[in-house]
Amino acid sequence: MKDIFTVLGYDIGGTKLGVGLVRSDGKLLGQARIENKDTKPEDILPQMVEEGMKLIAENGLTKDDVRAIGISAPCPADIPNGILTAPTNNQNWRNVPIKQYLSEHFGIKTYFDNDANAGVLAEWFFGAGKGAKDIIYLTMSTGIGGGIIANGKLVQGASYHAGEIGHMVLTIDGPDCPCGLKGCYEAYCGGVATAKRIQRELADQPNHPIIKLAGGKLEDVDLIALEKAVRAGNDYAVALWDEICLRNAQAYGMLLNMLNPEKIILGTIAWAAGDLFMEPVLKYVPRFAWKETYEACEIVCSELQREIGYYAGAAVALNHLREEGEFQV
């Protein structure tokens, strides 16, 4: 019988911070949310400790009952040292030694990784990747990130930058990407990039259906408004959606032929839009992948969906414990 124990996880987002108390068998014992929009670390860090302690107490536990703490963090970050260096989604967090802070305040060993790696670990331990040895997870919302499990091990890379799938270049001299490259996958399919493209292309059409679906404000146009317009049959929206699906399929085909995974697990847009997204993508993927790699892989939606943030930090802790021989998948 496997040893069942408890870990505490934190998932740091641009507007919210998720806290999850998770058992090693996947049971979510408790969760909390901390608002993290335009906040400073000195205000948030004590709240992180307070909410974590509260979840522990509410479950009749003490700090001594928590085996480890895990942190899922946005990049750029100093992963080995657990420092938030310059996250793009919160300008106030600069060179914050969050791993050290939590470790010292709880007296519990603490681990740190980027949010895409945490996502693939969460799906591997608790979601759509259970039982597989070779999987890829893609975060697909404002931007596109990736986490890779190869032969049962998280791929970190020589400088801890493995999995930056959103910055594979799909087209030479394609659209500018905030990362500094041109033609990145994220520049074609990321939520922010897509919204900016629509805003640019519809700037002189204030009565366009997409703008109306965004509440009448061009600056509020996003993927949700685009999806609604596609479902309503708007020609511009349908053509753009088809192009996005094609580019996603191109990226998946590259991953299939490079890494030959058992599963590619897709985040937000895939499960939020459902068949509207998945059907055209799956139709296009064979154009970009060998038959052998395509047939060996399932391309599926995240099982954890909106709950993934409450498992992500815990999964970071569990993976480190696994590598240290204290936990078995």
State whether 136 and 178 are in the same domain: yes
Domain for residue 177, yes or no? yes
Domain for residue 1, yes or no? no
Domain for residue 311, yes or no? yes
Query: Residue 97 half-sphere exposure, CB side, CA atoms within 13 Å?
Result: 6
Domain for residue 81, yes or no? yes
Domain for residue 226, yes or no? yes
State whether 147 and 102 are in the same domain: no
Average pLDDT per 10 consecutive residues for the chain, totaling 329 residues? 88 89 96 87 94 97 96 91 84 91 97 96 97 96 94 95 94 93 96 96 96 96 96 98 98 98 96 97 98 98 95 97 88
Task: Please name which of 265, 268, 254 lies closest in space to residue 306, comparing C-alpha atoms.
Answer: 268
> Which residues, other chains included, contact 88 with Cβ-Cβ below 8 Å and sequence gap of 6+?
74, 75, 76, 178
State whether 165 and 117 are in the same domain: no
Q: What is the pLDDT of residue 93?
A: 85
Q: Are 117 and 101 in contact (CB under 8 A)?
A: no
Cβ-based neighbour number of residue 97 at 10 Å: 17
Work out how many domains the chain is built from and give that number: 2
Q: Are 244 and 189 in contact (CB under 8 A)?
A: yes
Q: Are 265 and 255 in contact (CB under 8 A)?
A: no
Residue 268 to residues 145, 175, 184, 188, Cα–Cα distance (Å): 12, 23, 19, 16
The backbone torsions φ and ψ at residue 308, rounded to the nearest 5 degrees and listed phi first, read -60, -35
Strand (E) positions, 195-315? 263-266, 298-301
Q: Which two tokens stand for residue 162?
A: 């493995």
Give the Cα separation of 224 and 276 in Å (integer): 12
> Which residues, other chains included, contact 127 with Cβ-Cβ below 8 Å and sequence gap of 6+?
265, 302, 303, 304, 308, 311
State whether 46 and 143 are in the same domain: no
Q: What is the pLDDT of residue 280?
A: 98
State whether 136 and 214 are in the same domain: yes
State whether 86 and 23 are in the same domain: yes
Domain for residue 329, yes or no? no
Question: Reduced to 3 states, what is the DSSP secondary structure of residue 135?
Answer: strand
State whether 173 and 66 are in the same domain: no
Tell me whether strands 77-78 and 135-140 are parallel, antiparallel or unpaired. Answer: unpaired
CATH number, position 194? 3.30.420.40
Domain of residue 239: give its range: 131-303
Q: What is the pLDDT of residue 89?
A: 67
Structure pTM? 0.94
State whether 299 and 314 are in the same domain: no
| Single-letter amino acid code for the residue at 168 | M
State whether 50 and 161 are in the same domain: no
Q: Which two tokens stand for residue 108?
A: 């519990």
State whether 26 and 146 are in the same domain: no
Q: Are 15 and 35 in contact (CB under 8 A)?
A: yes
Domain for residue 298, yes or no? yes
Query: Residue 112 half-sphere exposure, CB side, CA atoms within 13 Å?
Result: 23
Q: What is the pLDDT of residue 266?
A: 98
State whether 294 and 235 are in the same domain: yes
Q: Is the peptide bond before 97 cis (omega within 30 degrees of 0)?
A: no
State whether 67 and 16 are in the same domain: yes
Task: Please name which of 39, 58, 47 lies closest in space to residue 10, comparing C-alpha atoms.
Answer: 47
Domain for residue 186, yes or no? yes
Scored b (16 or more CB within 10 A) or e, 271-285 reads bbbeebbbebbeebb
Q: Which two tokens stand for residue 270?
A: 């895939």
